[in-house]
């Protein structure tokens, strides 16, 4: 197993030095199983979200995950054998199967594609740039507590837009959870809004490094921050509002010394991928998913 871990870490490091957390497996939790085949080892786990939580909006209620590490001369064959062993195991609860894989380590991913896994979500990263000191856009200003209703409206619209791509699901509890979440986090976040004629038409929210530790190990350059919300109302899209919001956030991130800013976006979202690439982000990890039955949302 140590050989496999060392081989995996070396191959990923050569493919992408920014991809973090690849030199070990997470510690097995209660009831979690190691899956081992020649040349590969994985930790099988299950995430369950309560129906009334905000997590249940951002993903399915049950997700079966495989944390996979693959060494040896034929990564595709080894990952394929590991996936076959994992997918053959009986499961008491239905739910999609998910594998997070370093995006630039492409040597093994055919094993996922030919077994019905599809790329669904990208974890993208923007390395720090020297602070530019550019002028701020007059349409954009820091968010205040008075913006909560306007931001909540845009956050709900973001959820509805993202839900089209099959991972995010609006729940009956979503509006209330969003308001609670914003009430708790806005004062501790770096957040800006765009305003037109007194109406909030765009928002960006960043969790500063102390509140982004849960995702920081996905990269090797820290401190890391997490950009959790970006939305521009359809009425103002394509006129630079998103870029102005991103510029305000990046100016703060770069001045603070944040080494890497991370975000998630759906691979199938036709707006976010090109937009984030223009803003200096690129894929670090890709989540490959084999969907369960539609009822398992």
Ligand X SMILES: CC(C)(COP(=O)(O)OP(=O)(O)OC[C@H]1O[C@@H](n2cnc3c(N)ncnc32)[C@H](O)[C@@H]1OP(=O)(O)O)[C@@H](O)C(=O)NCCC(=O)NCCS
Name the site residues for ligand X (rule: CB under 6 A): 158, 161, 230-232, 237-243, 263, 265, 269, 271-272, 275, 278
Query: Looking at the DSSP assignment, which residues form a beta bridge with residue 190?
Result: 206
* C-beta closer to ligand X: residue 85 or 243: 243
How near is the Cβ of 264 to ligand X at its closest, in Å?
7
End-to-end Cα, the chain, rounded Å = 35
Q: Which helix (H) or strand (E) holds 232?
A: strand 224-232
* C-beta closer to ligand X: residue 62 or 168: 168
How near is the Cβ of 245 to ligand X at its closest, in Å?
7
Measured N-to-C along each axis, helices 174-185 and 148-163 cross at an angle, to the nearest 10 degrees, of 130
Residue whose Cβ sits closest to ligand X: 242
How near is the Cβ of 182 to ligand X at its closest, in Å?
17
Residues contacting residue 245 through CB under 8 Å, at least 6 positions apart: 140, 192, 193, 194, 202, 203, 204, 230, 232
Q: What are phi and psi of 228, to 5 degrees?
A: -95, -25
* C-beta closer to ligand X: residue 188 or 239: 239
Residues contacting residue 12 through CB under 8 Å, at least 6 positions apart: 19, 22, 102, 105
How near is the Cβ of 178 to ligand X at its closest, in Å?
15
* Peptide bond before residue 223 is cis, with ω within 30 degrees of 0: yes
* C-beta closer to ligand X: residue 22 or 212: 212
* C-beta closer to ligand X: residue 164 or 183: 164
Please choose, from the candidates 80, 73, 85, the residue with its C-alpha nearest in 3D space to the C-alpha of residue 7: 73
**What is the distance between the alpha carbons of residues 70 and 76, in angstroms, rounded to a whole number?**
9
How near is the Cβ of 238 to ligand X at its closest, in Å?
5
How near is the Cβ of 22 to ligand X at its closest, in Å?
24
Q: Specify whether the CB–CB gap between 230 and 262 falls below 8 A.
A: no
Q: Is the dihedral of CA 73, 77, 78, 79 positive or negative?
A: positive
Any alpha helices (H) in the chain, and if so which ranges? 2-15, 55-58, 75-88, 110-113, 148-163, 174-185, 213-216, 241-256, 272-278
* C-beta closer to ligand X: residue 70 or 224: 224
How near is the Cβ of 58 to ligand X at its closest, in Å?
11
**What is the distance between the alpha carbons of residues 57 and 91, in angstroms, rounded to a whole number?**
23
How near is the Cβ of 194 to ligand X at its closest, in Å?
8
């Amino acid at each position: 197993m140590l050989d496999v871990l060392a081989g995996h870490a070396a191959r990923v490091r050569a493919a992408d030095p920014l991809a973090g957390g690849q030199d070990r497996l997470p510690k097995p939790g209660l009831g979690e199983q190691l899956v081992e085949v020649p040349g590969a080892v994985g930790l099988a786990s299950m995430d369950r979200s309560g129906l009334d939580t905000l997590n249940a909006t951002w993903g399915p209620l049950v997700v079966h995950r495989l944390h996979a590490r693959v060494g040896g001369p034929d990564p595709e064959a080894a990952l394929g054998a590991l996936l076959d062993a994992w997918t053959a195991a009986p499961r008491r609860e239905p739910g999609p199967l998910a594998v997070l894989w370093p995006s630039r380590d492409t040597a093994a991913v055919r094993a996922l594609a030919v077994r019905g896994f599809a790329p669904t979500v990208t974890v993208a990263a923007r390395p720090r740039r020297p602070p530019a000191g550019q002028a701020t856009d007059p349409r954009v200003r820091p968010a205040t507590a008075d913006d909560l209703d306007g931001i909540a409206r845009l956050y709900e619209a973001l959820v509805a837009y993202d839900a089209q791509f099959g991972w995010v699901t609006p729940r009956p509890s979503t509006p209330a959870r969003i308001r609670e979440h914003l009430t708790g986090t806005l004062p501790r976040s770096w957040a800006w809004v765009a305003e037109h004629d007194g109406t909030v038409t765009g928002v960006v929210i960043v969790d500063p490094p102390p509140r982004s530790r849960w995702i920081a190990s996905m990269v090797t350059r820290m401190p890391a921050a997490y950009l959790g919300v970006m939305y521009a109302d359809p009425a103002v899209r394509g006129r630079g509002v998103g870029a102005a919001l991103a510029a305000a956030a990046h100016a703060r991130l770069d001045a603070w010394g944040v080494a890497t800013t991370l975000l998630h976006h759906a691979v199938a979202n036709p707006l976010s991928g090109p937009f984030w690439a223009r803003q200096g982000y690129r894929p670090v990890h890709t989540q490959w998913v084999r969907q369960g039955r539609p009822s398992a949302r």
